């Protein structure tokens, strides 16, 4: 395959193959019963995710981009997330592992054939600069992380993955909080090759100065909140959050437990182990993050504050693609790409600091922000409104920065994630901010 414009077909083909290898690596140890079981009512059966990955690729890389297709309407309907809510998916006549694998292989073979002649330098906004191929890569990466959320919820023996990489030890930071001076910065992006619609358009935002935590909040800090009665103090909680934790009998982050007083343990993918006090707290809802921030005399950062602290270089007056610059993520810069199967201790990647010196803003844990999910100025849905537009409003809170379970293809300073404020299955933590 030759190169046309700035986009290499060989590179795209290689990335597609690598993405599929990762999906199968994650699912390989899972038995057929656990593949088809719905392990939590808010998650799909893993086998639905697997088939959906292939059907979404067929929809966009064959049908939408090239007017071709292999499947009938029934298969499209079965894997259409907007047609079948999660509670319905276990009852569908889903492809089993073997048939789904054959289906994904057939789709991929056809996709690679069409890629040979795709006009990546033309005017079609789907194909230009390889956008639709990058969208598919990000989609599969996002479902990899969703699968890991589900795998974390398996009962009994659990998933029990074997870590493929070692993580560096954490480092204490000199300052608990970092000051970000007031002034203008560029929020969002105008990129149309990698960025998704809700990241556009780039626009100038003028923020007053503020302080932001140098690292995400640690397990050690959150233990102090718990042991100080944080879950029992009504004054710390949003009204809906208070109703939620009381109705669900929540007294600590998800997967925490105490075998004896003042001894905190966690269950991680079926492994029971002492809580690493130096690691960031994870599996907390927005309501828990908000209550902690209030207890600490702080608040959650807004989405604008988070992005400025992560992306803006005040000396050069330019925006960075990642906190450390435009260099692609590596293991020395951030804990991404799943293979550690856990968050690193805070401060473990000092070379990944932002221009302001804020650490850990990409990788380890998604970070809840104070902001609801909304459209940027001059927003346009592309290529379909069900990706972003239907979720805009007060029902969802924005998360930033990715987690250890996020693949590099699916994260950058401008990437926006969102979910209901009650969600705790996410690999999500937070950091705090205050005025200044």
Q: What is the CATH number of the domain that holds 8?
A: 1.20.120
Known binder of ligand: residue 139?
yes
Is residue 365 one of the residues assigned to a domain? yes
Is residue 158 one of the residues assigned to a domain? no
Known binder of ligand: residue 20?
no
Pair (330, 354) in one structural domain: yes
Is residue 412 one of the residues assigned to a domain? yes
Known binder of ligand: residue 412?
no
For residue 63 the two structure tokens come to: 């049908």
Known binder of ligand: residue 88?
yes
Q: What pLDDT score does 2 carry?
A: 33
Residues 149 and 323: beta-carbon distance below 8 Å:
no
Is residue 108 one of the residues assigned to a domain? yes
Q: What pLDDT score does 6 carry?
A: 63
Residue finishing a domain among 133, 152, 171 = 152
Known binder of ligand: residue 86?
yes
Residues 278 and 219: beta-carbon distance below 8 Å:
yes
Pair (182, 259) in one structural domain: yes
In the chain, which stretches have pLDDT less than 50? 1-5
Pair (117, 175) in one structural domain: no
Is residue 206 one of the residues assigned to a domain? yes
Known binder of ligand: residue 162?
no
* Sequence-ordered alpha helix ranges (H) in 63-130: 65-66, 73-78, 97-115
Known binder of ligand: residue 84?
no
Q: Which residues of 337-376 are buried (b: 16+ CB within 10 A; e: fewer)?
A: bbbbbbbbbbbbbeebbbbbbbbbbbbbbbbbbbbebbeb
In angstroms, the first-to-last Cα distance of the chain is: 54
Residues 142 and 402: beta-carbon distance below 8 Å:
no
Known binder of ligand: residue 89?
yes
For residue 102 the two structure tokens come to: 């054959």
Number of domains in the chain: 2
Pair (188, 143) in one structural domain: no
Pair (235, 292) in one structural domain: yes
Query: Could you give the strand order of the β-sheet that contains 177-180, starting from the edge strand earlier in sequence?
Result: 177-180, 210-213, 433-435
Domain of residue 50: give its range.
3-152
Return the SS3 of 374.
coil
Q: What pLDDT score does 157 carry?
A: 84
For residue 347 the two structure tokens come to: 């401060």
Pair (134, 167) in one structural domain: no
Is residue 157 one of the residues assigned to a domain? no
CA 191, CA 304: separation in Å to the nearest integer?
18
Is residue 111 one of the residues assigned to a domain? yes
Pair (172, 137) in one structural domain: no
Pair (422, 317) in one structural domain: yes
Residue finishing a domain among 108, 129, 152 = 152
Pair (115, 192) in one structural domain: no
CA 187, CA 168: separation in Å to the nearest integer?
32
Known binder of ligand: residue 419?
yes
Phi, psi of 70 (to 5 degrees): -115, -20
Looking up tokens 């991929």, which residue turns up?
Answer: 108
């Amino acid at each position: 395959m030759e190169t046309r414009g700035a986009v290499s077909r060989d590179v795209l083909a290689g990335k597609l193959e690598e993405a599929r290898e990762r999906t199968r690596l994650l699912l390989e140890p899972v038995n057929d019963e656990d593949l088809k079981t719905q392990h939590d009512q808010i998650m799909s059966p893993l086998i639905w995710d697997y088939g959906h990955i292939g059907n979404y690729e067929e929809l966009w890389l064959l049908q939408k981009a090239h007017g071709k297709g292999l499947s009938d309407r029934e298969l499209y309907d079965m894997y259409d997330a907007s047609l079948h809510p999660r509670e319905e998916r276990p009852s569908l006549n889903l492809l089993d592992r073997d048939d789904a694998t054959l289906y994904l292989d057939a789709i991929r073979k056809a996709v690679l054939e069409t890629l040979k002649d795709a006009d990546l330098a033309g005017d079609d906004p789907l194909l230009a600069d390889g956008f639709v191929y990058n969208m598919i890569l990000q989609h599969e990466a996002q479902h990899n992380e969703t699968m890991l959320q589900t795998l974390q919820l398996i009962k009994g023996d659990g998933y029990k993955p074997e870590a493929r990489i070692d993580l560096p030890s954490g480092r204490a930071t000199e300052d608990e909080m970092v000051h970000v001076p007031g002034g203008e910065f560029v929020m969002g992006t105008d990129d149309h090759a990698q960025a998704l619609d809700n990241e556009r358009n780039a626009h100038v935002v003028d923020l007053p100065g503020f302080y932001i935590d140098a690292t995400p909040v640690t397990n050690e800090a959150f233990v102090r909140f718990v042991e100080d009665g944080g879950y029992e103090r009504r004054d710390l909680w949003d009204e809906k959050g208070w109703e939620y934790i009381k109705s669900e009998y929540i007294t600590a982050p998800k997967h925490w437990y105490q075998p004896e007083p003042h001894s905190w343990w966690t269950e991680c993918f079926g492994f029971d182990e002492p809580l690493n006090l130096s690691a960031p707290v994870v599996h907390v809802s927005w309501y828990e993050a908000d209550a902690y921030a209030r207890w600490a005399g702080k608040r959650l950062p807004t989405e604008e504050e988070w992005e400025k602290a992560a992306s803006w270089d005040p000396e050069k007056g330019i925006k960075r693609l990642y906190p450390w610059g435009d260099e692609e993520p590596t293991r020395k810069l951030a804990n991404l790409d799943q293979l550690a199967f856990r968050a690193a201790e805070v401060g473990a990647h000092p070379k990944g600091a932002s221009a302001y010196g804020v650490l850990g803003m990409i990788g380890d844990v998604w970070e809840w922000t104070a902001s609801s999910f909304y459209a940027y100025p001059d927003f346009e849905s592309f290529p379909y409104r069900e990706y972003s537009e239907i979720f805009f409003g007060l029902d969802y809170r924005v998360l930033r920065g990715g987690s250890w379970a996020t693949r590099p293809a699916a994260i950058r300073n401008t990437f926006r994630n969102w979910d209901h404020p009650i969600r705790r299955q996410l690999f999500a933590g937070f950091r705090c901010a205050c005025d200044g």
